[in-house]
Amino acid sequence: MLSRNREKFILSLQKRKIRDDLRLFVIEGDKIVREFLLSGRDIRYLIAKPEFISGIPVEFRSRIDEIIPVSYGELKKVSSLKTPHNAMAIVPMPEVTLKMGEISGNLTLALDTIQDPGNLGTIIRAAAWFGIRDLVCSETCVDVYNPKTVQATMGAIMHVNVHYTGLEEFLAAARNDGMEVFGTMLEGEPVYGAELAHNGVILLGNESRGISGNLIPLITRRLTIPGFNPVKSGIDSLNAGMAASIILSEFARRKFTSG
Amino acid sequence: MLSRNREKFILSLQKRKIRDDLRLFVIEGDKIVREFLLSGRDIRYLIAKPEFISGIPVEFRSRIDEIIPVSYGELKKVSSLKTPHNAMAIVPMPEVTLKMGEISGNLTLALDTIQDPGNLGTIIRAAAWFGIRDLVCSETCVDVYNPKTVQATMGAIMHVNVHYTGLEEFLAAARNDGMEVFGTMLEGEPVYGAELAHNGVILLGNESRGISGNLIPLITRRLTIPGFNPVKSGIDSLNAGMAASIILSEFARRKFTSG
């Protein structure tokens, strides 16, 4: 049974301010909740239909602080999905710290003002697929714990450390550590022919305005995805998720073909 | 002014049956409507705020059968967007025919049961970017003239011919013409190292079930996008739009680097 207070509490987590204050966020969907438990993480509240609850192996139960069995109708009231699955959970935000020393040998993705929650989710999914460990978001990016973003990551949020920080300082520090900063732009070196390092920072800009002016001087290499449409119309562009997928794939293929 | 009858008529086009009967569909958004006119196409009805209408160059007016000036409130009533722009238009479906002889030298994309309108839109956007002229959808794919799909293409729908047909017959005919059929699968030859022709059919499967069993024997090459995440969880997969973008990019890069 879901008390009125609990219901209010769960719904309050749709607000960024509350999430940040409590350091909690919501994950939804049977597969994602199960995956979350399997990956060894803790769950503060599991809100689920009795069928789902009875299917959880006993050894995982100790990692759930409280289990709240609910009817489908109750789940629907607190879900941010139109047609919720059987389970949702409230989980602690992972505590991640960004240490330059630890990322200097890796490929890291930096996002400047990505504003669409679905785009951020897709980018995280691509990052997880291609083995990116750290994602550095400008403070002006949409919140990664927004229910729409979490949903769009399809669980990939578990596999990527997401940091929020000032990108100017971050990119300057990366440059100081001798890392390249690869800007993804409309005009630049075609990525297909480019020699690319196995480490550095890949910078993606805002969906409509691209990379902010103050970050441009910090870019060491400008990369572009060549278009092949004979009709240049300007609106048939790639979206942020597609551009991220292709650029990350290009870096990944160089590891693959050299290894 | 939008009469009650006109309002009903516009809203009726949200149904596939009506669209198919009348061979009409709706495009929304100032940029897309303008681009549509610039590309030399005809518009049956332009429904727009007076500011938008007055900005249309005189030479384009002859290609609009009827202009209906509306208030923002009226536009909101007939729009499928939460926050409509200033213009929408009702336009005829292009009459396209699929001739095997005309596609045998090209790279063509075939979609098996893509069901999410947003995914189809993203795939069309990627196809347009990479210069794919023909997209062949199984009859079980979502309708390309669904308002959500049209919106997700961001205008790219103008640059790609979309055909609906039985894929088994289509792929058999392509094979007969000596074309390769590249299946995008979870298990296959890593696309990065694969030698790829400049023509053939790329086949993408359903979002969760992949390529249908009856089409598998028609595949001549199985391609896969290698994953680089050390944690194999099964849920951090690429979505259909991302997979299409990466695969099309791989074919495009071979043209680019050989040319």
CA nearest to B117, candidates B155, B147, B90: B147
Say whether A100-258 and A4-92 share the same fold: no
Contact: B242, A159; criterion CB under 8 Å: no
Cβ-count burial B172-198 (b if 16+ within 10 Å, e if not): ebbeeeebebbbbbeebeebbebebee
pLDDT confidence of residue B233: 60
What is the ipTM, given to two decimal places?
0.91
Chain A: closest CA distance from residue B17 (Å): 25
Rounded to two decimals, the pTM is 0.92
Please give the Cα distance from B50 to B58 (Å, whole number): 15
What average pLDDT score do residues B224-231 get? Answer: 86
Written as one letter, the residue type at A200 is G
pLDDT confidence of residue A235: 55
Phi, psi dihedrals of residue A165, rounded to the nearest 5° = -160, 170
Residue B231 has pLDDT above 80, yes or no: no
pLDDT confidence of residue A232: 63
Contact: B236, A154; criterion CB under 8 Å: yes
CB-nearest partner of A35 from B126, B225, B235: B235
Report the 3 state secondary structure along chain B. CCCHHHHHHHHHCCCHHHHHHHCEEEEECHHHHHHHHHCCCCEEEEEECHHHHHCCCHHHHCCEEEEEECCHHHHHHHCCCCCCCCEEEEEECCCCCCCHHHHCCCEEEEECCCCCHHHHHHHHHHHHHCCCCEEEECCCCCCCCCHHHHHHHCCHHHCCEEEECCHHHHHHHHHHCCCCEEEEEEEEEEHHHCCCCCCEEEEECECCCECCCCCHHHCCEEEECCCCCCCCCCCCCCCHHHHHHHHHHHHHHHHHHHC
Residue A234 has pLDDT above 70, yes or no: no
pLDDT confidence of residue B234: 56
Partner B contacted by A237 (CB < 8 A): yes
Which fold would CATH assign to domain A4-92? 60s Ribosomal Protein L30; Chain: A; (3.30.1330)
Residue A255 has pLDDT above 90, yes or no: no
DSSP for A28-39 reads: ESHHHHHHHHHT
Partner B contacted by A1 (CB < 8 A): no
Residue of chain B whose alpha carbon sits nearest to that of A36: B233
Q: What is the mean pLDDT of chain A?
A: 93
pLDDT confidence of residue A115: 96
- pLDDT per residue over A61-75, tens digit each? 999 999 999 999 999
- pLDDT per residue over B15-37, tens digit each? 999 999 999 999 999 989 998 88
End-to-end CA distance of chain A: 55
Partner B contacted by A31 (CB < 8 A): yes
A–B CB contacts, 8 A cutoff, strictly below: 139
The answer to whether the beta carbons of residues A252 and B189 sit under 8 Å apart is no
Give CA separation, A2 vs A76, A77, A103, B132, in Å: 11, 10, 44, 52
Partner B contacted by A236 (CB < 8 A): yes
Contact: B156, A190; criterion CB under 8 Å: no
Domain boundaries, chain A: 4-92, 100-258
- Which of the listed CATH numbers 3.10.105.10, 3.40.1280.10, 3.10.110.10, 3.40.50.10490 matches domain A100-258? 3.40.1280.10
Contact: A229, B158; criterion CB under 8 Å: no
B235: which chain A residues are within 8 Å (Cβ-Cβ)? 31-32, 35, 154-156
Contact: A129, B227; criterion CB under 8 Å: yes
Chain B: closest CA distance from residue A187 (Å): 15
Residues 6+ apart with CB under 8 A from A230: B131
Residue B235 has pLDDT above 80, yes or no: no
CB-nearest partner of B159 from A32, A229, A253: A229
Partner B contacted by A125 (CB < 8 A): yes
- pLDDT per residue over A176-205, tens digit each? 999 999 999 988 999 999 999 999 999 999
Written as one letter, the residue type at A125 is R
Residues 6+ apart with CB under 8 A from A244: A109, A122, A123, A126, A127, A184, A204
Residue B240 has pLDDT above 90, yes or no: yes
Chain A: closest CA distance from residue B156 (Å): 5
**Most A CBs within 10 Å, among B124, B191, B208, B235, to test the A interface:** B235
